[in-house]
Amino acid sequence: MTAVLPEPYEGLRLRTREFIRNVVIPAEPKPGTTLTHENRLQLMEQTKAAGVFAPHLAEEYGGQGVPLEHWPAIFIEAGYSPIGPAVLNCMAPDEGNMHMLELIATDAQKERYLRPLGAGAVRSCFGMTEPHPGAGSDPLALRSSAERVDGGWKINAHKRFISGAEGAAYCILMVRTSAVPAEGFPEGATMFLVDMDHPGVRVGNPINAIDTAIAGGHPHLYFEDCLVPDDAVLGAPGEGFAYAQVRLGPARLTHCMRWLGLAKRAQDIALDRAASRELFGSPLRSLGVAQDMLAQSEIDIATSEAIIDRTAALLERDPKAGAALSGVAKVHCSDAIGRIIDRAIQICGGDGVTDALPLASYANEVRPFRIYDGSNETHRWAIAKRASSRRRREVEAGAPRLDLVDEHGADTWGTL
Amino acid sequence: MTAVLPEPYEGLRLRTREFIRNVVIPAEPKPGTTLTHENRLQLMEQTKAAGVFAPHLAEEYGGQGVPLEHWPAIFIEAGYSPIGPAVLNCMAPDEGNMHMLELIATDAQKERYLRPLGAGAVRSCFGMTEPHPGAGSDPLALRSSAERVDGGWKINAHKRFISGAEGAAYCILMVRTSAVPAEGFPEGATMFLVDMDHPGVRVGNPINAIDTAIAGGHPHLYFEDCLVPDDAVLGAPGEGFAYAQVRLGPARLTHCMRWLGLAKRAQDIALDRAASRELFGSPLRSLGVAQDMLAQSEIDIATSEAIIDRTAALLERDPKAGAALSGVAKVHCSDAIGRIIDRAIQICGGDGVTDALPLASYANEVRPFRIYDGSNETHRWAIAKRASSRRRREVEAGAPRLDLVDEHGADTWGTL
Amino acid sequence: MTAVLPEPYEGLRLRTREFIRNVVIPAEPKPGTTLTHENRLQLMEQTKAAGVFAPHLAEEYGGQGVPLEHWPAIFIEAGYSPIGPAVLNCMAPDEGNMHMLELIATDAQKERYLRPLGAGAVRSCFGMTEPHPGAGSDPLALRSSAERVDGGWKINAHKRFISGAEGAAYCILMVRTSAVPAEGFPEGATMFLVDMDHPGVRVGNPINAIDTAIAGGHPHLYFEDCLVPDDAVLGAPGEGFAYAQVRLGPARLTHCMRWLGLAKRAQDIALDRAASRELFGSPLRSLGVAQDMLAQSEIDIATSEAIIDRTAALLERDPKAGAALSGVAKVHCSDAIGRIIDRAIQICGGDGVTDALPLASYANEVRPFRIYDGSNETHRWAIAKRASSRRRREVEAGAPRLDLVDEHGADTWGTL
Amino acid sequence: MTAVLPEPYEGLRLRTREFIRNVVIPAEPKPGTTLTHENRLQLMEQTKAAGVFAPHLAEEYGGQGVPLEHWPAIFIEAGYSPIGPAVLNCMAPDEGNMHMLELIATDAQKERYLRPLGAGAVRSCFGMTEPHPGAGSDPLALRSSAERVDGGWKINAHKRFISGAEGAAYCILMVRTSAVPAEGFPEGATMFLVDMDHPGVRVGNPINAIDTAIAGGHPHLYFEDCLVPDDAVLGAPGEGFAYAQVRLGPARLTHCMRWLGLAKRAQDIALDRAASRELFGSPLRSLGVAQDMLAQSEIDIATSEAIIDRTAALLERDPKAGAALSGVAKVHCSDAIGRIIDRAIQICGGDGVTDALPLASYANEVRPFRIYDGSNETHRWAIAKRASSRRRREVEAGAPRLDLVDEHGADTWGTL
């Protein structure tokens, strides 16, 4: 550990670390199987008793009230077990939903939706992604919609990859809405809080993805002439795209934190194996090629921690700049995490690709992270566009153009 | 810029930025040529007038007194020009020597050696590396030595790659010394301050390396029966290896800072080119492959900044842990910096590999950084050893072994 | 296709290609499930009727009699479907066992073991790998053994990762045997043909690996005081390590061929997706970043084909040199194949990590190839040792040493 | 060496190898300096005496008459010395010019231009690249032109990066020409043979690139109202783009061959260093990380050799397909060659980045190869487009679409 949190957060981090090692790891299900609902409930009770429950959530809703800037080290501890975040109630998508509800919901909505979610009594889901050609890596391609009706809204939507939908108590749904000039609502997207037992809501076919850590899968989700009242709107109508950014920046970063925790677990497995196994008469840990792989993983871990911390601090200070940097963090961390687990598998040899060790299941768990929350390719495209804009503004503000060359090859250096 | 420094350091950073863009860049020599001594002296006067001289140095010696933790953003600004660090008097090896003198030298030594160095009136060098099989990536292989003689020491040493030696006023020399039990000196290495005009000192053949930014080259350096008095010892006899770490951790990191500045310059050149050039009818900046390269460089820049900042803060708080993390930063940054400049060359096409643009010279300037200050391979080896030790201590302290499998393939998960 | 085979092999390749596309692909089971025994039998009948069965096997045993040098293009066609090799009866481990039996077995052994295996009537397995610290990446660590008894041998062995063992008719087993000077048997390893219904043979616990294409899994396998007669010996006693090389070189290369076929399938899936999907208003195939990924996969495919062809030709002409080059091919191809499938997943976005497309299952199928048949790390170690030996022999034979430098930095170029 | 050439080419290869090692290497100039004209002439005499001169050239013009398919192994031997290709008269741009003249020139043109070039009596250049926004990575952007005048053509052109122009006897120039319907000339590009002492030709400013192996530099070249007669046209007017492909495919591949030879030299330097140097008490060659780097270079060498051989054979059999594959070879080899030399530098440590060893100069020599002959980015773009077209044709011809998924997530596998 290279950073030390201010108290009381460092104490919370250490308690979390002990709790994960002593209570959660022994309760982990076998690779390829999932934590049962009953076991989660039981473990959550222990979590609350240990004072490490919901680190990110305000104390009035049962959490530890840690400010975003100090989440990273604690979430990384939680993620050291694949079930840690669920047990601490800081797993996606609930954690991101809690964060958005805290920031945007009315008091009544908080009481009705945030309180039970924060307590771990219910689960939730977030309804944004749609089948092609709707909203995916490009949220602006959103196609499903709600129309203004008397006393509320009528929603028609087909969503997919809705993580956690099966068994969720409610959905935070994002659909397109037209302008309603009479009421001052701009054209855009609107967020709705919709109970999953609403008759207009139907959970569709499951989508069998290679990750299994999120309870409730990633099914299709249908809203068919689903009527909701005005107070189902989260925040203001037409402001959904802005709210999505409020959720996506931190949510993207907490994914980095949790999966980095799992990557550190993989590295520890590899270190233990390197300490105990021999090849050609030497322990693996003194074979140069194993050392080099372990070191590359250490570098991936340290740089991921550093960019996560930096982004968390920036999200606190300047949410817009922080959201931009969270794209950088997301690409770096999702790539790095994949590499770390892959190297650990390679170091563990045959056992690495079986369920004798959990590494292969970790690899499948984190692989989609390079795709969801905006594919890494899409993020890199956005990162390049921001860099080009930043530089254009600088040049417009008088910074010297740096790429000028004389096309006849004379010495241009005296005149730049 | 993603981090904001506390004042007055943010103000200093911005002044440095303006000074580099407005004064230093226009004065840069053509690629492949070096800053003359006269031009450096003249530019240093302007630097002092602008109040941006020697950011790292205590105010009493003419610097800006910035604590190490806030060096990174300022050194990065300085490095944006290849001559920036020399003009600001924060270039290697002088900057590292100033740092060590501030920490270890006696008041008299500071007055004699640090004051003129800090003022930019003289240059210095650091004599550690030796021809094979002496000290190189492994400092403990040190072979040259000094022996205790009446009233002082007699040094015999052959050093090489002694950056800045030609024209330096003095050398901080590290050689092996035997234990002197009567005086309480342990066996080990000792640092000496030796004037370069001492008759026992001889600058040998130059070594023509591909980098040229350091005035004074990297020649061989010989000490032949070189007698020095007791007060030439820097710090305590026999403690040289520990002092070397004091110097090497921060020195390694300031290299990262300065070269990252140059990498940001390369990225700006590439962004300018991508904005102005067309290929197949589109500006380069809207071609996906160019965008992807630019984005990868942005990610390399941001992660380098993050790990540098983190390491600088740690070096301030816990020098030993900071020195360890500086190895991680060194490997990541030297690799990243090389990639950034390489991508910029590729984006600039033919011009990138000529002296019409400075990129090819930047590439040659930073290539050796993957080798000096400990080769990246050596650092990865050390990083792996530290990781193995860390994990072994954890397991010894009771953390569960994570790599256990049942060799007969039964389900081992219930019993872990 | 860049190489054209001489007839009749090019005709066989084209027939194989058509058969895979028209018959085999429509019969593929859903991702994550396996081909049933009945379906395989039925498809094998069609394969025989189409004249594309067992391309590698001698015609007298029911195959097409293609020489090794011309296997690659045909095996790549077979591998384009994950069930293609099983349906064509050229899947591991049977294909490698057939190859070894053709080269080493007695006529009686061929009649008893090769004929039904070649016909697809039975399956077989190869028993070499052992639990740690026995034979794994280092075959010489072999620990299990057979002892000479009256009229035969008594085997005691614990093997694991024995692909195909469940349901196999027999095992080609490799164990350590002591020298029997009276009979002229050297100390070493010996290969045995052991029927799986022998009472001394017991299939142990399965090992749940992430790949599922090989029928019969990868279980533990036990030989407990298993008595076999002299004619159970395959080849000569004590020569097992040499025979293992006979099997491993080509077997390693046929893995490359089959999996490269699957990688080409993945690339075609990605190309189809890139042609049909739009992002930000353009088809994926005209987005630069997607094009760059597709091109990198094309390069991986072409270089893999080239090194496979070169190795196959060399294995035919010079088996020892070919076995050495097969290590190079194995490392390059297993890495390249993994990258190709990974890029295809990324291009297919969310669908890529679900069972809506087979890509995620392909990724799991090929991941272990970087570990089995000698881990890539072990192969690289062996490759480096061979390169060092090659160069040492050259220098000993008079080639000039190329690394000499003058430690005092004088110009050494005139005197080299 | 993994491939054996048929005689007499294998004999020629071995003679070339010996000649390079025994005659050429001892005559190499110091890194950073170039072969003098006089030394080249003298060494060419020895080359002719040794019967290894101009392997690619027809015997009637003084060469060895090796068919293209067997060039690779011989050119690789030549490239083992940076001056080898010049001494064997198979260096760019002359070698590519000879190849095009052999295929396209009239007998009279061959006598006047090919004969002295083939003999090494004169040098030549190839005039295609123009300043932005003219012909560069996209030859179709050609802007300079010739207009039809009475009895010939009037050329106005500004070319740059014209390798070898300084001191060349003539230029093969490519400019745009309009259609001349009366004479049946289509619109397009036309190739001209222009003597460099023509009064309308002017060599402009040099372009200082980081590579120095090509005599005559890469200057600007101007054609100002340059009148040439009809027999200065090489081939038919308006067919220049097709001829350019005739030249570029093989020329690109011979670059791969020559530079791969240099990469093998770098690898041998690294192997020699790894055999002789110790670090931490072990010879480098037994340190795992050095072994891994050496092995990666071996793999890069072997795959480069394999794709070069495959492309050369295809260029002979099917020039169009061969030209397409030459793009794959160019990208793979230029990347691989850069990596091999970079690793060798790293293994040689400090000496690697000085002129004590030639590695740093090799790195600068090969760096531009990732840019010229079509930048690797441009080639990857073309490779992707060809792959997309290939696949589209297959699907149009009835191959099943492979990316279909059911947007409602039902099982689509039974119906594909």
Residue B1 has pLDDT above 70, yes or no: no
Same domain, residue pair A56 and A137: no
Name residue B221's beta-bridge partners: B159, B203
Q: How far is C138 from chain A (nearest CA, A)?
A: 7
What is the model's pLDDT at position B355? 92
CA-based nearest residue to D123, from D192, D173, D91, D169: D169
Q: Which regions of A3-144 does DSSP assign to beta strands (E)?
A: 124-127
C222: CATH? 2.40.110.10
Say if residues A231 and A108 touch (Cβ distance below 8 Å).
yes
The pLDDT score that the predictor gives to residue D238 is: 96
Neighbours of D178 (CB within 10 A): 16
pLDDT given for residue C4 in this prediction: 79
D59 with D16, same domain: the answer is yes
At B3 the pLDDT is 62
Question: In the 3-class helix/strand/coil scheme, how is chain B assigned residue by residue?
Answer: CCCCCCCCHHHHHHHHHHHHHHHHHHHCCCCCCCCCHHHHHHHHHHHHHCCCCCCCCCHHHCCCCCCHHHHHHHHHHHHCCCCHHHHCCCCCCHHHHHHHHHHHCCHHHHHHHHHHHHCCCCCEEEECCCCCCCCCCCHHHCCCEEEEECCEEEEEEEECCCCCCCCCCEEEEEEEECCEHHHCECCEEEEEEEECCCCCEEECCCCCECCCCCCCCCCCEEEEEEEEEHHHEECCCCEHHHHHHHHHHHHHHHHHHHHHHHHHHHHHHHHHHHHHCEECCEEHHHCHHHHHHHHHHHHHHHHHHHHHHHHHHHHHHCHHHHHHHHHHHHHHHHHHHHHHHHHHHHHHHHHHCECCCCHHHHHHHHHHHHCCCCCHHHHHHHHHHHHHHHHHHHHHCCCCCCCCCCCCCCCCCCCC
What digits encode the pLDDT tens for the residues B141-186?
899 999 999 999 999 999 999 999 999 999 999 999 999 999 999 9
Taking an 8 Å cut-off on Cβ atoms, the answer to whether C271 and D302 are in contact is no
Task: Indicate whether C309 and C329 sit together in one domain.
Answer: yes
**Residue of A370, A368, A33, A29 lying closest to A211 (CA atoms):** A368
* D49-103 confidence digits (pLDDT tens): 999 999 999 999 999 999 999 999 999 999 999 999 999 999 999 999 999 999 9
Question: Which residue among D238, D266, D283 closes a domain?
Answer: D238
CB neighbour list of residue A81: distance below 8 Å, 6 or more residues apart: A20, A24, A25, A28, A87, A261, A265
Mean predicted confidence (pLDDT) in C349-365: 95
Instruction: Supply the pLDDT for residue B138.
Output: 77
pLDDT of residue A283: 84
Look up tokens 């008299």; give the residue: B108
Contact D265 C402 (CB under 8 A): yes
How distant is the Cα of B106 from the closest Cα of chain A, in angstroms? 32
Angle (CA) C263 C265 C270, round 5°: 95
Q: What is the extent of the structural domain holding D278?
A: 242-396
Tokens coding B107: 């008041």
CA distance C309 to chain A (A): 27
Burial class of residue B393, CB neighbours in 10 A (0-12, 13-18, 19+): exposed
Please indicate whether, in this complex, the C-beta atoms of A309 and B306 are within 8 angstroms of each other: yes
- Both C253 and C356 in a single domain? yes
Residues D222 and D330 in one domain: no
DSSP-derived letter for residue C137 is S
In Å, the largest CA–CA distance within chain A is 81
Q: What is the mean pLDDT of residues B392-410?
A: 87
pTM for the structure as a whole: 0.96
Q: Is the pLDDT of residue C280 over 80?
A: no
Interface contact flag, D377 B289, Cβ < 8 Å: yes
When mean pLDDT is compared across A37-41, B136-140, D334-338, the lowest value belongs to B136-140
Rounded CA-CA distance C377/A293 in Å is: 10
Structural domain includes residue D350: yes
Q: Which of D307, D348, D411 sits opposite C302 (nearest CB)?
A: D307
pLDDT at A3: 62
Helix (H, G, I), strand (E, B) or coil at C379: helix
Q: A139-148, B298-307, D297-306: lowest mean pLDDT where?
A: A139-148
Same domain? A373 vs A251: yes
Same domain, A366 and A255: yes
User: Can you read off the two tokens belonging to residue D219?
Assistant: 């200057």
| Of residues D204, D407, D410, nearest to A131 (C-beta) | D407
Instruction: Provide, rounded to the nearest whole percent, the portion of chain A with pLDDT above 70.
Output: 97
Mean pLDDT within D249-275:
96
D408 touches chain C (CB under 8 A): no
**Is C206 near chain B, with CB under 8 Å?**
yes
Q: Scan for tokens 């208003």, then name that residue.
A: C281
Inspect the interface and report whether the beta carbons of C409 and B291 lie closer than 8 Å.
Answer: no
Query: What is the length of chain D?
Result: 416
Does C287 reach chain B within 8 Å, measured CB to CB? yes
Residues 344-383, chain A: which have Cβ within 8 Å of C? 345-346, 349-350, 352-356, 360, 363-364, 367-368, 370-372, 375-378, 380-381
Say what percent of chain D tops pLDDT 70: 97
Residues in chain B: 416
Residues 6+ positions from B60 with CB-CB distance below 8 Å = none
Name the E strands within A6-151: 124-127, 145-149
B280 touches chain D (CB under 8 A): yes
Please provide the average confidence, as pLDDT, over all residues in chain B: 94
Q: Are residues B282 and B356 in the same domain?
A: yes
Task: Note the pLDDT of residue B340.
Answer: 98
Predicted confidence (pLDDT) at residue A107 exceeds the cutoff of 90: yes
Quick check: is D13 in a domain? yes
Q: Is pLDDT above 60 for A296?
A: yes
Residue at C56 is within a domain = yes
C188 touches chain B (CB under 8 A): no
Is A176 or B214 the better-scoring residue by pLDDT?
A: A176
Closest approach of chain D CAs to the CA of C332, in angstroms? 7
Quote the pLDDT of residue A248: 87
Please spell the DSSP secondary structure of C104-117, one letter per residue: H--HHHIIIIIHHH
CB proximity list for B298: less than 8 A, separation 6 or greater: A328, A383, A384, A386, A387, B267
Q: What is the ipTM for the molecules in this complex? A: 0.95
- Do B250 and B350 lie in one domain? The reply is yes
Rounded to an integer, the average pLDDT of A159-164 is 94
Is it true that the peptide bond before A133 is cis, omega within 30 degrees of 0?
A: yes
CATH number of the domain enclosing C330: 1.20.140.10
Q: Is residue C404 part of a domain?
A: no
- Report which of D173, D159, D154 is spatially closest to residue D219, judged by C-alpha positions: D159
pLDDT value at B391 more than 70: yes
D219 at A interface, C-beta within 8 A: yes
Nearest to C193 by CA among C169, C225, C213: C169
B192 and B154 within one domain: yes
Indicate whether B65 belongs to any domain: yes
Q: Is position A400 within any domain?
A: no
CA dist A219 and A413 (Å) reads 61
Residue C24 included in any domain? yes
The residues near D135 (Cβ < 8 Å, ≥ 6 apart) are D128, D129, D141, D142, D143, D174
If one compares C156 and D247, the residue with the highest pLDDT of the two is C156
- Round to whole Å and give the CA distance between D256 and D321: 17
Cis amide leading into C31 (omega within 30): no
pLDDT at A300: 98
- What are the percentages of helix, strand and coil residues in chain C, rounded to 5? 55, 15, 35
Share of chain A above pLDDT 90, in %: 85
* Same domain, yes or no: D305 and D328: yes
- Mean pLDDT score of chain C: 93
| Residues 6 or more apart in contact with residue A349 via CB below 8 angstroms | C136, C137, C371, C375
- Residue D73 sits in a domain whose CATH number is 1.10.540.10
In eight-state DSSP terms, residue A185 is B
> Do C157 and C144 contact (CB within 8 A), yes or no?
yes
Q: For residues B162 and B265, state if they share a domain.
A: no
pLDDT tens profile D33-47: 889 999 999 999 999
The total number of structural domains in chain B stands at 3
Q: What is the pLDDT of residue C229?
A: 98
pLDDT at position B411, please?
Answer: 47
Distance separating alpha carbons of residues D27 and C413, to the nearest angstrom: 10
> What are the chain B neighbours of C131 within 8 Å (beta carbons)?
407-408
Rounded to a whole number of angstroms, the distance from the CA of B243 to the nearest CA of chain D is 21
- What's the rounded mean pLDDT across residues D9-14? 97
Per-residue pLDDT tens over the stretch A359-413: 999 999 999 999 998 899 999 999 999 999 999 999 999 999 999 988 776 544 5
Is residue B312, in this structure, part of any structural domain at all?
yes
**Total Cβ atoms within 10 A of residue B144:** 22
Q: Is residue C292 within 8 angstroms of chain B, CB to CB?
A: yes
